[in-house]
Structure 1
Amino acid sequence: MIVAISGASGAIYGVRLLELLRRAEVETHLIMSRTAQVTLAHETELKVADVEALADVVHSHQDLAAACSSGSFHTLGMIVAPCSIKTLSEIATGVTGNLVSRSADVTLKERRRLVLMMRETPLHLGHIRSMAAVTEAGAIVYPPVPAFYSRPASLEEMVDHTLGRVLDLFGIETGVVKRWTGTAASRRRET
């Protein structure tokens, strides 16, 4: 799985995603943008080396010759967590000036699953058009909106539930999602 971390707020999504994928024994290829490294320093106590240690393979965002820049490199797909509007817009237009957008472009052209955890609001019409364009190209725009039916007791539980649902899109079970079972009244009617 290719995991990209862009500079949008929410670096913890990318970090925790790497942890969950390691636990699920899924090989990960990490790409962090330069602004992701800055955001990581502002939002966490982690160093870039700490995050890189969670991945099986680390690629420089500038290395357009990396394995994941080619369609012949087989992957399960790619998740950009979090995904900035800049990154989403580059992907939507096919502009591949760095390894994040190039790998996403390759993921789309190979018809593999691409999930973009877009983490910016409010949105203007240009953002919405970019979201529509990238969706039409085959990506899934997945803003990390918390689910409250699971009654999360902590920020960690909210992050885990969201990432568990993202990994559901790839058929990867992590055990961190509290599945909806209906209301008590609907469960009584089923029996």
Structure 2
Amino acid sequence: MKRLVVAITGASGAIYGIRALQLLRERGGVETHLVLSPSGARTIIAETDFTPDAVRALAHHVHNPKDIGASVSSGSFVTEGMLVAPCSIKTLSGIAHCYNDELVVRAADVCLKERRRVVLLLRETPLHAGHVELMAQATRNGAILMPPVPAFYHRPTSILEIVDQTVARALDLFGLDLPTTKRWNGKGVD
């Protein structure tokens, strides 16, 4: 079974991480390891009808965000990589500068040093020059920046369809295909 680390940090957009866990659970074949930051838990309460415990229950394994000795903090623990959804600027800064004081950044840093995918659904707008520099440094370190900018070619009719398409495209980056992904065929979607 493949493994994927999913982190939910304190930026707006907790639904992206939640839907990733839900869709991966439905898909099967992927063992999820959740790292939920305290700010991420607070954002879940503010933005969704979920509780942090309900979100934790969606993952196969949950790791304490302060435990830098967790399995996902070691390169010998093989994963497909890590999805940070949403990714706060604080988390981006830690990843860009290898500041491994908490598990979210440590797990991302481990994935990067092992040349595994790290996909950051960065949630901030507008951006100033410092944010852009952090994005450039994280990219140089090997991370993939994927701000959750919605696509409309699949003609979504709900917020959930927009979220699902973004999450599906993020999971594509790990080679994890979802059967519900809408794909452009040159004339429309399949």
TM-score by length of 1: 0.94
How many angstroms does 1:182 deviate by?
Answer: 1.6
The alignment-based identity, stated in percent, is 57
SS in 2 for 1:27: strand
Amino acid paired to 2:102? N
Q: Which amino acid aligns with 1:155?
A: I
Amino acid at match of 1:52: R
Aligned to 2:53: 49
Amino acid of the structure 1 residue aligned with 2:92: L
Q: 1:21 aligns with which of 24, 44, 62?
A: 24
Alpha-carbon RMSD = 0.9
SS of the residue corresponding to residue 28 of structure 1 reads: strand
Q: 1:187: which partner in 2?
A: none
Shift of 1:34: 0.5
Cα distance in 2 for partners of 1:95, 1:176 equals: 37
User: How far apart in 2 are the matches of 1:168 and 1:156?
Assistant: 18
Residues of 1 paired with 2:15 and 2:161: CA distance?
12
Q: For the residues of structure 2 that align with 1:56 and 1:165, how far apart are their CA atoms? A: 22
How many residues align structurally?
A: 184
User: 2:175 is matched with which residue?
Assistant: 171
Output one character per residue of 1:24-68: Cα deviation in whole Å (capped at 9) or x when no partner: 211000000000011100001111110011000000100111000
| Off by >4 Å, runs of 4+ in structure 1 | none
| C-alpha distance in 2 between matches for 1:178 and 1:110 | 31
Counterpart of 1:162 (choices 162, 166, 170) is 166
Q: 2: distance between equivalents of 1:137 and 1:9?
A: 24
SS state at 2:31 partner: coil
Correspondence 1:5-84 to 2 at 5 A: 5-25=8-28, 26-84=30-88
What displacement does 1:177 show? 1.8
Alignment equivalent of 1:147, drawn from 147, 151, 174: 151
User: Which structure 2 segments of 5+ residues have no match?
Assistant: none
Q: Select which of 125, 128, 148 maps to 1:124.
A: 128
- Structure number with bigger Rg: 1
CA contact (8 A) 1:164 1:175 kept: no
1:93 aligns with 2:105: no
**1:183 to partner: Cα distance:** 2.9
Q: Letter of the 2:43 partner, please give it.
A: T
CA distance in 2, matches of 1:160, 1:93: 31
Say whether residues 1:2 and 2:5 are aligned partners.
Answer: yes
Say whether the 8 Å CA contact 1:24–1:172 is kept in structure 2.
no
Shift of 1:171: 1.2
| Equivalent-residue separation in structure 2 for 1:44 and 1:122 (angstroms) | 23
Q: Give distance in 1, aligned partners of 2:143 and 2:163.
A: 21
